[in-house]
C-alpha cells in the first residue's frame, strides 16, 4: 500500500511524536508513505472565517496528491474531515467544482476527485487489518486498561463518510485489543476535547479537556489513547492546566494510538517520541522499562 502523507499543520509544526510514531509504525505494516512538496493547511480551523477558503485549500491539497496519482493518508481527523467534505461537495456540484478549480489554476493545479482519503483508524483497521497487527506484536500490553478517544471530526457528521460509527465507535478499541490491551467504554467516550475553541475561548477549551480527563482518571484507566493532534495537545501537552480548570490533579498517561502500537511492536520509545509526551507516560510498564 502506498499513500501520500498529508501532515496538515498541528502535527508537523509541534506534535512531532505523532509524526515520528507514524513514520516508524506504518512501514512495519507495509504501508509506504510518500512525502510531497507544497501542501498547505486544510482550511478547517478557519472555516468559521470563510468556508470558501476552506473548500479551496482542501481541494488544493487533494489536487497535489492527484498529480502524483496517490491516495491521501491524513492522520489528523480535522484535516480528514475537511478533505472528505471538500471531495463530497466538489464531486456532487459541478458549478462549485468549476469555481474552486478556477482558483487552483494560478498554481497550475486541478482537482478532479481521483484520490481517496484515509485516516489513521480506517487505514489500520480496514486497510491493514487486525490479523496483521496481531502478527507483529512482540510485547503484548497485558490487560492495560485503556480509554479510547476518537475525536469528534473522525466520527461525525456521518453523512460525510466517517471512518467509524458516530455513536458507538469501536475500531480503535478493536485495534488495541489486538495488541493485548483492555479497552473499555466509559460515559464520557464521545465528549469533545474543546480544542477548536482554543482560538477564541482557551479557558473554556481547557475546561472541556479537564472534565473528560477527570472522568477517565476517576474510573481508574491506565492510559488514554487518541489519534488527533488537536485533542492530544489538549489532553497531553496541556494536561496540568486542564486539571486546574476542574480543580483536579490529573495524572493520566496520554499516548497516540501509533505510539502504543509501536511499543507493542517492540519499537524503542525514543523512536516513537515518547519523551515528547508531557503526561506521565513513564508510569506505564511498557514505557518505563528498557
Partner 1 sequence: MSITDLTSMGEPQTEQRKEINERLRRLQDEISDYCYQCAKCTSGCEAHKLLELEPHKIVALLKRGLIDEMINSEIIWTCMSCFKCRERCPQKVAPVEILFALKNLAVASGKQIPGNYTAMLQSVLSIGLLQDVKSITTKDNKTKTRTDLGLPEISKPADPTKFQMMLSKIAVEKV
Residue with Cβ nearer partner 1 (45 or 183): 45
Of 198, 209, 227, 258, the one binding partner 1 by CB under 8 A: 198
Which range touches partner 1 (CB under 8 A), out of 86-94, 117-125, 134-142, 168-176?
A: 86-94
Closest approach, Cβ 13 to partner 1, in A, equals 5
Is residue 243 involved in binding partner 1 (CB under 8 A)? no
What 3 state SS string does the chain have?
Answer: CEEEECCCCHHHHCCHHHHHHHHHHHHHCCCEEECCCCCCCCCHHHCCCCHHHHHHHHHHHHHHHHHCCCEEECCCHHHHHHHHHHHHHHHHCHHHHHHHHHHHHHHCCCCCCCCCEECHHHHHHHHHCHHHHHHHCCCCCCCCEEEEECCHHHHCCCCCCCCCCCCCCCHHHHHHHHCCCEECCCCCCCCCCCHHHHHCCHHHHHHHHHHHHHHHHHCCCCEEEECCHHHHHHHHHCHHHHHHHCCCCCCCCEEEHHHHHHHHCCCCCCCCCHHHCCCCHHHCHHHHCC
Residue 35 sits in the site that holds partner 1 (CB under 8 A):
yes
One of 39, 111, 235, 265 touching partner 1 (CB under 8 A): 39
By CB under 8 A, how many residues form the interface with partner 1?
Answer: 68
Instruction: Report d(CA 165, CA 23) in Å as an integer.
Output: 27
Q: Which of 194, 229, 243, 262 binds partner 1 (CB under 8 A)?
A: 194
Piece of the chain touching partner 1 by CB under 8 A; list 69-77, 178-186, 192-200, 215-223:
192-200
Q: Does 40 bind partner 1 (CB under 8 A)?
A: yes
The correct pick among 3, 25, 26, 56 for binding partner 1 (CB under 8 A) is 56
Query: Pairing state of beta strands 117-118 and 145-149?
Result: unpaired
By the rule CB under 8 A, 14 interacts with partner 1? yes
Q: Enumerate the β-bridge partners of residue 4.
A: 34, 72
Q: Is 131 in the site for partner 1 (CB under 8 A)?
A: no
- Which residue number, 147 or 176, has a Cβ lying nearer to partner 1? 147
CB of 124 to partner 1, least distance (A): 21
Question: Treating both helix axes as pointing N-terminal to C-terminal, what angle do 94-104 and 51-67 enclose, rounded to 10 degrees?
Answer: 70
Q: Which stretch binds partner 1 (CB under 8 A): 38-46, 119-127, 247-255, 261-269?
A: 38-46
Helix axes 257-264, 16-28, angle to 10 degrees: 50
Q: How far is the CB of 175 from partner 1 (least distance, A)?
A: 23
Binding partner 1 by CB under 8 A: which of 20, 65, 70, 117?
20
Instruction: Work out whether 188 is an interface residue with partner 1 (CB under 8 A).
Output: no
Residues lying near partner 1 in the complex (CB under 8 A)? 7, 9-10, 12-14, 16, 19-20, 23, 35-41, 43, 45-53, 55-57, 60, 89, 92-93, 96, 103-104, 106-107, 152-153, 156-159, 166-167, 190-192, 194-202, 204-205, 207-208, 273, 275-278
Amino acid at each position: 500500500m502506498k499513500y501520500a502523507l498529508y501532515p496538515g499543520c498541528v502535527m508537523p509544526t509541534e506534535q512531532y511524536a505523532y509524526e515520528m510514531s507514524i513514520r516508524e509504525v506504518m512501514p512495519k505494516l507495509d504501508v509506504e508513505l510518500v512525502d510531497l512538496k507544497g501542501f498547505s493547511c486544510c482550511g478547517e480551523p478557519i472555516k468559521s472565517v470563510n468556508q470558501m477558503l476552506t473548500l479551496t485549500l482542501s481541494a488544493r491539497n487533494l489536487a497535489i496528491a492527484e498529480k502524483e496519482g496517490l491516495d491521501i493518508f491524513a492522520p489528523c481527523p480535522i484535516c480528514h474531515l475537511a478533505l472528505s467534505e471538500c471531495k463530497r461537495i466538489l464531486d456532487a456540484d459541478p458549478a462549485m467544482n468549476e469555481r474552486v478549480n478556477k482558483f487552483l489554476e494560478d498554481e497550475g493545479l486541478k482537482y478532479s476527485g481521483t484520490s481517496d482519503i484515509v485516516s489513521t483508524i480506517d487505514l489500520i483497521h480496514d486497510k491493514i487489518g487486525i490479523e496483521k497487527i496481531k502478527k507483529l506484536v512482540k510485547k503484548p500490553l497485558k490487560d492495560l486498561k485503556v480509554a479510547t478517544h476518537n475525536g469528534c471530526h473522525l466520527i461525525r457528521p456521518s453523512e460525510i463518510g466517517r471512518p467509524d460509527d458516530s455513536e458507538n465507535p469501536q475500531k480503535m478499541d478493536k485495534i488495541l485489543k489486538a495488541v493485548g490491551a483492555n479497552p473499555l467504554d466509559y460515559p464520557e467516550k464521545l465528549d469533545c476535547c474543546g480544542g477548536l475553541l482554543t482560538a477564541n475561548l482557551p479557558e473554556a477549551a481547557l475546561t472541556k479537556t479537564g472534565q473528560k480527563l477527570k472522568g477517565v482518571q476517576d474510573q481508574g484507566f491506565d492510559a488514554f489513547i487518541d489519534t488527533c493532534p488537536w485533542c492530544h495537545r489538549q489532553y497531553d501537552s496541556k494536561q496540568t492546566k486542564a486539571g486546574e480548570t476542574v480543580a483536579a490533579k490529573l495524572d493520566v498517561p496520554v499516548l497516540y494510538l501509533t505510539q502504543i502500537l509501536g511499543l507493542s511492536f517492540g519499537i524503542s520509545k525514543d523512536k516513537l517520541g515518547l519523551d515528547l509526551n508531557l503526561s506521565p507516560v513513564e508510569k506505564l510498564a511498557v514505557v518505563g522499562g528498557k
